Amino acid sequence: MAPTSTPQTPFGRVLTAMVTPFTPDGALDLDGAQRLAAHLVDAGNDGLVVNGTTGESPTTSDAEKAQLVRAVVDAVGDRAFVVAGAGTNDTRHSLELARAAQDAGAHGLLAVTPYYSKPPQEGLLRHFTAIADATDLPVMLYDIPGRSGVPINTETIVRLAEHPRIVANKDAKGDLGRASWAIARCGLAWYSGDDMLNLPLLSVGAIGFVSVVGHVVTPELRALLDAHLNGDVTKATEIHQKLLPVFTGMFRTQGVITTKAALGLQGLPAGPLRLPLVDLSPEETEQLTRDLAAGGVQL
């Protein structure tokens, strides 16, 4: 049974976009995934996003994606939301992934803007609507033009919000003005998808985070959120500033690379990366270690 959701917080407030652990030979590590999921929920996450970009979804097979959802749901699905990435740049393929995620027990879907093909807004509208129509699961849009090449315009977000199963948006657009207008008009639960902007997005109406740095600082993210909700702006700002080295260090290069390195430094399941991603160099690992230590992360 999934945790209890509300319209205001359909997937909770603090979620981590989880890496996909692999064995040393590059195979899917389901035992490691279950142990990592349990660790992240124990640390304070309300939910986990699997098979997203941070989960190396471009290089995992459809069968692996379904296996991962099933394993994580078995491990933590009774106490945390498990949201499965189902978005691709092919609508038909996305519908197949959405249905497979539902069959595997996912509590919700994450649907990223179709990448590379740069569809017009009408194409985005039809794509996301088709995904939302494909299952009974609630859907979180994922707006990340830096990766997809195309933003979801505010008018499109407002129209998509009319769909009863499109309930949330993960905002990695990096535009507080556009976020402000969209939040004011659409009524979707708004999640920060850019860790450096977690606090600023809360200030304009976001309700929580889908975080990468949550792999290493979930308690601090929870404390920042609680301080904001309690009206303690000074404390929230202090926590934000304390975490600046972590926000910076975890994105000096591609986030999956640094996250798996950070988990390895902590002795947690992660494993190797699949090409075209590659491990940090020794010098980059030393820099990451300094960044994490500067942000108070225990290694």
Residues making up the annotated binding site are: 54, 210
Catalytic pick among 65, 115, 142, 260: 142
Q: Is 170 a catalytic residue?
A: yes
Residues 106 and 49: their CA atoms lie apart, in Å, by 10
33 conformational bin, left if phi > 0, alpha if psi -120 to 50, beta if neither: alpha
Burial (CB < 10 A; 0-12, 13-18, 19+), residue 254, is middle
Tell me how many degrees the CA angle 128-125-211 measures, rounded to the nearest 5: 50
118 conformational bin, left if phi > 0, alpha if psi -120 to 50, beta if neither: left
Catalytic pick among 65, 115, 170, 260: 170
**Inter-CA distances, 180 with 31, 96, 201, Å:** 41, 33, 8
Residues 50 and 56: their CA atoms lie apart, in Å, by 9
Instruction: Look at the block and give the residue holding tokens 């290694």.
Output: 299
Residues making up the annotated binding site for pyruvate are: 54, 210
Backbone phi and psi for residue 251, each to the nearest 5 degrees, phi listed first: -125, 25
Where does 135-196 have alpha helices with state H?
A: 145-148, 154-160, 176-186
Active-site residue set: 142, 170
